[in-house]
């Protein structure tokens, strides 16, 4: 793999106006990173990536690169664009375990992070780097959120998340697993115990439903539940997957790996919503596809679908009299998900919209002072890189809020150092500045 990565890196034209960078949602300094790499500064390149995106290693594996950095590469015009994801993965994987946290002096200010998904991990790392006392409250036994419980092992090995946990622990971040805020402990309890700001990044774990007959049957399951622990399910040999997004591809490919012989994905449209990359992998794994089908009923024998006509304006019309049973041992519904309401329902002052998503301003402030939110619980189900981008803004806003709060209370904060996360190796940069 190293030779392949080096060859790919050498193909970079180091464009003056790098379209790859503008195509990246988090504005990764791709040409600079590649230049540092091919001139012997792999740690410099790794630090560039990590400072810009703490989840760079994860994003190198799960991003939709074909529509982002790689899809914007100028070399696509006359051939094949650079496999930026492979270069980023090689550098970030090499760098992660070399990280030696260099933190600002402790401010003796507590902040609580509810949820350890992409947003929670990002914000906890940034605030810990700046000297805050960070505690993560995670409702499950392991950190990662959707990264661990929503993305299959073959796409994102769980050992990567274990490596992040090791880094976070070394930074002084405390983790309380199996602790669901809104149950025994609530937001008010956190403020009572002098957490000066609270971040909510609980994700979206409530499956959207079809609202049709049969959804409560024992052979019907929801994608987000199945992906959390596929080994708990006995799907049988034939599986129908309703929905055609990236999560549906994860479900279909996982089911095949867990023993299913025939897996069919059903799309209401004439195409699939999943990325081309994920769709092609699903096809290669043996997944079948049915298009222009709308589910009308689920039963013990499978699912009944009706043909759909797709109009030019993007609307759909179901065609009566075209109902057909597609037999299956199990049916999995994969039509996205929404937020659970446990925290909001037990806390006053945090407003939500009609979809149950938390209302915030542009910088993550909720309608309650000192409470912030970002990620899927604000935006709905989005990508990892989008969660990281927005969470960096929110971390800045939390930092500013806690500084103002400290000033109002007369607390004198120690001066910030040039906190950074650097590799414990001679060629590492000495100072990349703070997040």
Residue 223: which pLDDT band, with cuts at 50, 70 and 90? very high
Q: In 274-372, which residue ranges form alpha helices assigned H by DSSP?
A: 276-285, 342-345
C-alpha torsion sign, points 183, 187, 193, 196: positive
Tokens of 205: 């774990």
Asked whether the predicted pLDDT for residue 249 surpasses 70, the reply is: yes
* Residue 186 scores a pLDDT above 50: yes
CATH of 2-100, picked from 3.40.250.10, 3.30.565.10, 1.10.1060.10, 1.10.10.10, is 1.10.1060.10
For 252-276, write each residue's pLDDT tens digit.
999 999 999 999 999 999 999 999 9
> Does residue 431 surpass a pLDDT of 60?
no
State residue 378's pLDDT score: 86
- CB neighbours of 295 closer than 8 A, spacing ≥ 6? 210, 212, 242, 266, 303, 304, 305
What is the percent of the chain with per-residue pLDDT over 70, rounded to a whole number?
94
pLDDT at 336: 84
CA separation for the pair 30, 399 (Å, rounded) = 28
Mean pLDDT, the chain, rounded, equals: 91
Q: Domain spanning 207-337 has what CATH number?
A: 3.50.50.60
Res 422: pLDDT: 55
Domain residue ranges in the chain: 2-100, 104-204+340-416, 207-337
pLDDT bin (cut points 50, 70, 90) of residue 47 is very high
59-109 tens-digit pLDDT = 999 998 888 999 999 999 988 999 999 999 999 999 998 888 788 999 999
Common-topology check for domains 2-100 and 207-337 = no
pLDDT of amino acid 419: 57
DSSP E strand stretches across 190-301: 195-200, 206-207, 220-222, 238-242, 262-266, 288-290, 293-299
Q: What pLDDT was estimated at residue 251? A: 97
- What is the value of pTM for the model shown? 0.90
Q: Token digits for 201?
A: 């990044």
Q: Note the pLDDT tens digit of each residue in 324-353.
A: 999 999 999 999 887 766 677 677 889 988
Q: Is pLDDT above 60 for 139?
A: yes
CATH fold of 104-204+340-416 reads: FAD/NAD(P)-binding domain (3.50.50)
Average pLDDT rounded to a whole number, residues 416-425: 57
**Confidence band, pLDDT 50/70/90 cuts, at residue 228:** very high
pLDDT at 382: 79
Q: Which H or E element spans position 143?
A: none
- Beta-carbon contacts of 85 under 8 Å, excluding residues fewer than 6 positions away, are 60, 61, 63, 65, 69, 70
pLDDT at position 435 is 29
Asked whether the predicted pLDDT for residue 418 surpasses 70, the reply is: no
- 427 has pLDDT over 70: no
Are the C-beta atoms of residues 295 and 323 closer than 8 Å to each other?
A: no
In angstroms, the CA 388 to CA 395 distance is 10
Percent of the chain with pLDDT over 90: 77
Statement: residue 172 has pLDDT above 60: yes
pLDDT digits (tens, 9 = 90+) for 374-392: 888 888 767 899 999 999 9
pLDDT at residue 204 greater than cutoff 60: yes
**Rounded distance between C-alpha atoms, residue 376 and residue 116, angstroms:** 12
Least confident range from 76-85, 192-201, 331-340, 425-434: namely: 425-434
382: alpha, beta or left, given left = phi > 0 and alpha = psi -120 to 50? beta
């Amino acid at each position: 793999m190293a030779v392949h990565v080096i060859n790919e890196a050498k193909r970079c034209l180091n464009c003056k106006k790098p379209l790859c960078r503008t195509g990246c949602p988090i504005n990764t300094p791709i040409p600079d990173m590649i230049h540092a790499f091919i001139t012997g500064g792999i740690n410099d390149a790794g630090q560039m990536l990590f400072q810009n995106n703490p989840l760079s290693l994860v994003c190198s594996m799960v991003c939709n690169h074909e529509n982002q950095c790689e899809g914007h590469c100028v070399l696509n015009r006359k051939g094949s664009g650079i496999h930026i994801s492979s270069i980023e993965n090689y550098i970030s994987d090499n760098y992660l375990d070399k990280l030696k946290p260099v933190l600002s002096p402790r401010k003796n200010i507590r902040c609580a992070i509810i949820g350890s998904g992409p947003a929670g991990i990002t914000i906890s790392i940034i605030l810990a780097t700046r000297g805050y006392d960070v505690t993560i409250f995670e409702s499950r036994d392991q950190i990662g959120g959707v990264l661990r419980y929503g993305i299959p092992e073959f796409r994102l090995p769980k050992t990567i998340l274990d490596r992040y946990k090791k880094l976070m622990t070394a930074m002084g971040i405390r983790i309380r697993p199996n602790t669901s805020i809104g149950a025994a402990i609530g937001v008010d309890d956190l403020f009572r115990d002098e957490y000066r700001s609270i971040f909510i990044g609980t994700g979206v774990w409530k499956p959207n439903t079809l609202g049709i007959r049969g959804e409560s049957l024992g052979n019907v399951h929801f994608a987000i539940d199945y992906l959390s622990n596929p080994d708990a399910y006995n799907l049988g040999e034939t599986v129908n997957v309703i929905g055609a997004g990236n999560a549906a591809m994860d479900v279909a490919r996982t089911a095949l790996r867990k023993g299913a012989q025939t897996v069919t994905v059903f799309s209401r449209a004439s195409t699939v919503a999943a990325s081309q990359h994920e769709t092609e992998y699903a096809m290669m794994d043996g997944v079948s596809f049915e298009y222009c089908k709308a589910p009308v009923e689920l039963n013990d024998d499978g699912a009944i679908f009706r043909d759909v006509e797709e109009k030019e304006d993007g609307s759909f019309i179901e065609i009566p009299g075209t109902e057909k049973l597609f037999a299956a041992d199990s049916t999995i519904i994969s039509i996205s998900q929404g937020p659970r309401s446990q925290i909001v329902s037990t806390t006053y002052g945090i407003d939500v919209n009609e979809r149950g998503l938390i209302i915030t301003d542009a910088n993550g402030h909720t309608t309650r002072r000192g409470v912030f939110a970002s990620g899927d619980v604000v935006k709905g189900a989005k990508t990892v890189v989008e969660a990281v981008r927005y969470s960096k803004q929110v971390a800045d806003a939390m930092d500013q809020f806690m500084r103002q709060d400290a000033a109002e209370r007369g607390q004198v904060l120690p001066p910030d150092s040039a906190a950074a996360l650097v590799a414990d190796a001679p060629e590492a940069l000495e100072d990349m500045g703070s997040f």
